[in-house]
Chain A
Amino acid sequence: MLDIGLTHFLVVSAILFGLGVLALTIRRNAVLMLMGIELILNSANINLIAFSRYQHLNLEGHVLALFVIILAAAEAAVALAIVLHIYKTNNTVEADRISDLKE
């Protein structure tokens, strides 16, 4: 770990965060927007682990990253259930063609 420092990992996570925001903004398919959310959560996790590694290597950052992973799993399950329900009611998952919350 001589020439790779904290900043390298932070830059990777910054790029990943920007790509996640981009996926959330430009994608019309709701499942692809969920993938953008996963990218954002992953970039936050890289930050947590990198700061934890380069500062005394205490494991509180790891615990927080673990909880982020748990929350991501719960979020993916509920969000996909909502997307499936939207598909049943509206017959599409394109976000710009869904304008009603209920029939």
Chain B
Amino acid sequence: MEISILFYVFAALTVGSAFVVVFSRSVIYAAFSLLFTFMGVAGLYVLLSADFIAVAQIMVYIGGILILLVFGVMLTRKATDVEVRSGTVRTLPALIIAGIVIGTLIHAFTSAQWLQVEGVPDIEGTTLELGELLMTTFVLPFEVAGILLLVAVMGAALIARQEVK
């Protein structure tokens, strides 16, 4: 019972602040409401008994990506601008198309007969098993992801520091 209330709280937090991200006129407000979207998604992960993914979500998304995005907002404005504002373009056709996309997806999700296993118990923690999987079955993708992160950081530094003639 309490879990269903928690689900609706986190779902409302996620969807409501995602609406602010899409429709807010101030870029800073959008960046900060993205924080609440990520928090709500992390709460949903906890409800799905994915504790490690929830913590990784908070650390990587809020501690890393969101900070990067806020830096992006700060660095792409002139010091003389009082407030960073950004409008929307072609809102009505985009709204119609997004409505069609959401409606189709919800119809597909609710009408499909998903294979569901009843009564799977919540497990205590996923970190140990996840670590074992990453070091045995998925060790090659894990190493490739490490190399990818290194290359991405080097490439990002190279692109951002390139001098404009």
Binding site for B on A (CB under 8 A): 1-12, 14-23, 25-32, 34-36, 38-39, 42, 45-46, 49-50, 52-57, 59-60, 62-63, 65-67, 69-78, 80-85, 87-89, 93-94, 96, 103
Interface contacts (Cβ under 8 Å), in number, total: 238
Indicate if the CB atoms of B141 and A67 lie closer than 8 Å. yes
Q: Closest CB of chain B to A62's CB: distance in Å?
A: 6
9 contacts between A and B (CB under 8 A): A4-B3, A14-B105, A16-B41, A31-B72, A35-B21, A55-B116, A62-B50, A78-B152, A80-B156
Main secondary structure of the interface of A (DSSP, over half): helix
Partner of A69, one of B61, B126, B141, B160: B61
Q: What's the Cα separation between A54 and B49 when bound, in Å? A: 11
B76 within 8 A of A: yes
Q: How many residues of B contact A (CB 8 A)?
A: 84
Indicate if the CB atoms of A56 and B120 lie closer than 8 Å. yes
Indicate if the CB atoms of B61 and A70 lie closer than 8 Å. no
Q: What's the Cα separation between A19 and B44 when bound, in Å? A: 18
Specify which of A34, A63, A82 lies most central, judged by the most chain B CB atoms within 10 Å of its CB. A63
